[in-house]
């Protein structure tokens, strides 16, 4: 009867504590309720729940009651889980009751700034028969030590809390899974609806950072030297992602070797892990480096570092992030294939236009030119006979026809130039001399307000090589700039000749550039001409 009287008062408190623990489906809220309920159930001054890692050997999170935020920050680091009474509880995984902490030889004392504590009671909290963490309390408010009855109540609470934590973890896992699935779908949609290659990498980095609650989302790609370089980075407000761009993981790094093997890398503290060798590693704490693979080939790496001191990634977060990386890699490949198909369609269309211009327009212009030339010759012959009788009109007709033939010839050359331009890849920098000349004249056209005419004579691309090509482009750039500075320029003509048509004064074959315009010539009338030439 005496025992019943002693334990009966604790039963209502136990029921209230069990109900409070199971009232919240959110995991962090459930854990905080557990600590608060344990303190209220036993009348303790201080309480804590130390969550351990998957191996059950290291404390990864700490939930407290009785300590304000200032005291938590002053104490600093988490318990290591290896020393003192907390270490005994982590390693032995059995309930522990210590009436006097200072008298127990297993006690390791307290760190600087830690409140003094006299009595101790602790129990493991199991979820699905596996230790999730340890619940421990110190010092009863009335100054008495903890009793076996307190330990029994705490064990019952821990058992019920294990069920509540299991439910909260399932809810948390389902919620996280839904968020990551939605994030992967958003990335896929964005990549398949017109994002450029650089924008696609930023989409992946930014979305992954938000989902992982990381300090930064980073995408690295392989370098020619065999390492990896940060090519895209997304950070939170107030931080500059540009500071991360260009950072490299050197070839031979342990992290890189693991990534090249298709394995993800999980780091508890980037600043102290010997596998991390980049200069920015000191900025970060827990990190995930996830390979972006396609067809067994590593196309990049997604890195998600958290701040120093943040909680490490859980097993569920690692799994979901790895699945996200696989989905993102597939979406990047599909987006790249879409871009390639669109580029191919553009090339095919441009090639068709070029063929139509060559087969229809140029041939008809050439036929018209031949007809006019024939007419001019006949008119010139008739003019010789008429000239004997004093007529003057045939000479004027000959001049008019000659001008028409010249204009047609110039038009044919410009259409051929347009055909060549259509055959160049639109998004790539030109590699041929013709392409470079056309690029310079197109750029000058934007400043002049009209497109300069360009004429090529001879096999320019076949005969002009480095370093003459660079000298030619430099001379062209200077001549176009000078034309832009002159007043009254309404037409600019560029002519590039090689081979027989560009013989140098010493008899050698060379390349000649002539840039002429109709602008004012410093009081010397209209029209200027710049000639540059060099041996091949």
We report the CATH number of the domain holding residue 309 as 3.30.450.40
Domain boundary among 393, 428, 463: 428
Domain co-membership, 143 together with 11: yes
Give the whole-angstrom CA distance, residue 152 versus residue 149.
5
Domain co-membership, 12 together with 142: yes
Domain co-membership, 419 together with 397: yes
Q: State residue 335's pLDDT score.
A: 67
Give the whole-angstrom CA distance, residue 526 versus residue 285.
71
Domain co-membership, 123 together with 165: yes
Band (513; pLDDT cuts 50, 70, 90): very high
Residue pair 265/289 in contact by the 8 Å Cβ criterion = yes
**Would you state the structure tokens that stand for residue 374, as one six-digit string?**
């024939």
Residue indicated by tokens 């790094």? 253
- pLDDT surpasses 60 at 5: no
* pTM listed for this prediction: 0.53
Q: State residue 358's pLDDT score.
A: 65
Domain co-membership, 479 together with 374: no
Give the whole-angstrom CA distance, residue 155 versus residue 124.
8
Rounded (5°) CA angle 457-494-399: 80
* Closest alpha carbon to 434 in 455, 410, 412: 455
How many folded domains does the chain comprise?
4
Integer CA distances (angstroms), 354 to 357, 418, 464, in order: 5, 8, 24
Has residue 445 been placed in a domain?
Answer: yes
Average pLDDT value over all residues in the chain: 79
CATH of the domain at 474: 3.30.565.10
- pLDDT surpasses 80 at 281: yes
Domain co-membership, 55 together with 162: yes
Q: Helix, strand or coil for residue 371?
A: helix
pLDDT digits (tens, 9 = 90+) for 164-215: 888 888 888 888 899 898 888 888 777 776 556 667 788 888 889 999 999 9
Largest CA distance in the chain: 153
Band (465; pLDDT cuts 50, 70, 90): confident
As a whole number, mean pLDDT of residues 117-124 equals: 88
Domain co-membership, 396 together with 497: no
Has residue 318 been placed in a domain?
Answer: no
Residue pair 41/135 in contact by the 8 Å Cβ criterion = no
Band (6; pLDDT cuts 50, 70, 90): very low
As a whole number, mean pLDDT of residues 470-491 equals: 85
pLDDT digits (tens, 9 = 90+) for 64-99: 888 777 666 656 566 766 677 877 888 888 898 888
Beta strands in 373-508 (DSSP E): 453-457, 492-503
Domain co-membership, 46 together with 142: yes
Q: Which domain holds residue 530?
A: 429-536
- pLDDT surpasses 80 at 511: yes
Domain co-membership, 141 together with 289: no
Cβ neighbours of 371 (radius 10 Å): 12
Residue pair 112/74 in contact by the 8 Å Cβ criterion = no
Domain co-membership, 239 together with 256: yes
Domain co-membership, 154 together with 202: no
């Amino acid at each position: 009867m005496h025992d019943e009287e002693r334990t009966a008062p604790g039963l209502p408190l136990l029921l209230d504590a069990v109900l409070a623990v199971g009232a919240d489906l959110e995991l962090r809220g459930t854990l905080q309720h557990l600590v608060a309920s344990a303190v209220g159930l036993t009348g303790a001054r201080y309480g804590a729940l130390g969550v351990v890692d998957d191996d059950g050997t290291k404390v990864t999170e700490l939930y407290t009651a009785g300590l304000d935020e200032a005291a938590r920050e002053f104490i600093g680091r988490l318990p290591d889980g290896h020393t003192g009474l907390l270490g005994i509880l982590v390693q032995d995984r059995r309930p522990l009751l210590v009436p006097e902490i200072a008298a127990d030889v297993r006690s390791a004392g307290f760190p600087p700034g830690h409140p003094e504590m006299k009595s101790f009671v602790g129990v493991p909290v199991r979820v699905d028969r596996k230790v999730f963490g340890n619940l421990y309390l110190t010092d009863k408010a009335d100054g008495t030590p903890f009793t076996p009855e307190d330990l029994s109540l705490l064990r019952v609470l821990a058992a019920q809390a294990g069920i509540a934590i299991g439910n909260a973890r399932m809810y948390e896992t389902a919620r996280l899974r839904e968020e990551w699935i939605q994030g992967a779908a958003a990335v896929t949609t964005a990549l398949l609806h017109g994002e450029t290659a650089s924008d696609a990498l930023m989409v992946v980095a930014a979305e992954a950072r938000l989902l992982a609650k990381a300090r930064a989302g980073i995408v690295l790609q392989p370098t020619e030297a065999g390492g990896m370089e940060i090519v895209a980075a997304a950070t939170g407000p107030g931080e500059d992602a540009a500071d991360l761009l260009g950072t490299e993981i050197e070839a031979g790094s342990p992290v890189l070797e693991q990534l090249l093997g298709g394995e993800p890398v999980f780091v508890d503290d980037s600043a102290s892990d010997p596998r991390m060798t980049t200069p920015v590693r000191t900025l970060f704490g827990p990190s995930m480096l996830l390979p972006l693979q396609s067809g067994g080939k590593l196309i990049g790496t997604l890195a998600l570092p958290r701040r120093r001191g943040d909680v490490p990634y859980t097993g569920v977060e690692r799994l979901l992030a790895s699945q996200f990386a696989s989905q993102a890699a597939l979406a990047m490949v599909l987006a790249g294939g879409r871009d390639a198909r669109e580029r191919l369609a553009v090339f095919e269309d441009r090639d068709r236009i070029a063929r139509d211009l060559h087969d229809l327009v140029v041939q008809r212009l050439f036929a018209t030119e031949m007809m006019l030339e024939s007419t001019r010759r006949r008119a010139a012959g008739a003019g010789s006979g008429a000239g004997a009788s004093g007529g003057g009109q045939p000479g004027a007709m000959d001049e008019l026809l000659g001008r028409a033939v010249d204009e047609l010839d110039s038009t044919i050359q410009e259409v051929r130039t347009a055909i060549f331009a259509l055959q160049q890849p639109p998004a790539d920098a030109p590699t041929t001399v013709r392409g470079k000349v056309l690029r310079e004249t197109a750029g000058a056209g934007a400043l002049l307000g009209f497109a300069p005419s360009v004429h090529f004579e001879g096999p320019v691309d076949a005969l002009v090589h480095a370093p003459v090509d660079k000298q030619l482009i430099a001379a062209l750039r200077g001549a176009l700039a000078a034309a832009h500075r002159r007043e009254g320029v309404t037409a600019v003509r560029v002519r590039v000749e090689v081979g027989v048509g560009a013989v140098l004064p010493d008899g050698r074959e060379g390349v000649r550039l002539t840039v002429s315009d109709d602008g004012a010539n410093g009081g010397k009338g209209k029209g200027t001409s710049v000639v540059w030439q060099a041996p091949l």
